[in-house]
Structure 1
């Protein structure tokens, strides 16, 4: 058996994908997603998310979502053993943002280890955990009860909220005080 062949003992890279939508409690947006179950994906097959269950790996049951909304592509670089990911906007009519940077149709960018993705009223928090395997990775999906933008921003009075990635999110309003807590609101 070859040394480079992937074995069952190899630790797979894991993508935690956490969803939030303000009306998720009354609609079945996530009925077609494998929530709470890890699924193994081939690294050479893009992970597509959209409304069309025929062409997408994962589907959202929402007529506002584009047929093909976005794609996550795994890749490797010669200088790093890690499996990395890029994100591409597949929607002609809906822009998406990655940590505050807007992506138009077919635009692509590298995904940091922790990224807040926004499109329509959806927020997705994607967290990458490194692994050793080269041919496949795992995906774990869940639904959050609180918007991830609220959980991941650091609010300091008089300063713009900052994502855990250290990048300033230009789409987030200044924090407002409510009782004894600071809350970040998204535009």
Structure 2
């Protein structure tokens, strides 16, 4: 078999493997607008936005409780590394985003390590980076996890109740999560009292 010397070698692209978990994902309806289990090539200079608004976001979660624009992933490089690196930015004014347990405020940005756990609402998103050689593009591949990735990473906080975008916790409102009306303005008093309770 002859090998053509005129064909350019295809560069191996960096890939972000993004695996999602939600406690009510059994029907997978939440992920019906995501391209699961296939790799998508993206330009390195373009931010990758995730949220519920198909016009503003690169990838969409079909969930009214997710912010219109929830978060953004941005590729970058440094002068002392050949690897393509990524940062995450919280685009939601109403919802909290945490990266490996550290909370990001609105428009705050954090560097992503090679493996990171991102949480927003009741979602857990485990991101793993596979390094490649291509400089102008990278790939994204979405998948679904059967169990929360926080268990794997040992980041489960005992007696912690998930807080939705409304600022109320699930133990007191009695409304199933899928019936909530979407992100609403948070009550700073409730947030302050909840934070105080966690600290005591």
TM-score, normalising length from structure 1?
0.79
Local SS of the residue matching 2:151: helix
The yes-or-no answer on 1:173 pairing with 2:174 is no
2: distance between equivalents of 1:74 and 1:112? 12
Which residue is 2:114 aligned to? 113
Question: SS of 2:150's equivalent?
Answer: helix
Q: Is the 8 A contact 1:69 1:90 kept in 2?
A: yes
> Do the aligned partners of residues 86 and 99 (structure 1) sit closer, same or farther apart at CA in structure 2, a change above 3 Å counting?
same
> 1 or 2, which has the higher helix percentage?
2
| 2:144 alignment counterpart | 143
The alpha-carbon distance between structure 1 residues 28 and 81, as it changes in their structure 2 partners (threshold 3 A), is: same
Q: In structure 1, how many angstroms separate the alpha carbons of the residues matched to 2:22 and 2:35? A: 17
Q: Deviations over 1:154-183 (max 9, x none)?
A: xxxxxxxxxxxxxxx5x7228xxxxxxxxx
Q: CA RMSD in A?
A: 1.6
Give the match's secondary structure for 2:46.
coil
Task: Give the whole-Å Cα distance in 2 for the aligned partners of 1:92 and 1:23.
Answer: 24
Matched residues in 1 for 2:139 and 2:17: separation? 9
| Alignment: residue pair count | 155
SS at match of 1:68: coil
- Distance (whole Å) between structure 2 residues aligned to residue 104 and residue 133 of structure 1: 32
SS at match of 1:29: helix
Counterparts of 2:92 and 2:42, CA distance in 1: 23
> Aligned-pair distance for 1:26?
3.7
1:133 aligns with 2:128: no
The residue that corresponds to 1:10 in the other structure is: 11
Partner of 1:64: 65
- Structure 1 unaligned segments of length 5 or more: list them: 1-6, 154-168, 175-184
Tell me: CA distance 1:8–1:88, structure 2 relative to 1, closer, same or farther (3 Å): farther
C-alpha displacement at 1:121, in angstroms? 0.2
TM-score normalised according to structure 2 size: 0.74
**Which residue does 1:49 correspond to in 2?**
50
1:70-125, CA deviations, whole angstroms, 9 ceiling, x for partnerless residues?
00000001110000000000000001100000001000010110000000000000
Taking a change above 3 Å as real, the CA distance of residues 18 and 8 of structure 1, as seen in their structure-2 partners, is farther
Pair 1:85 & 2:86 matched:
yes
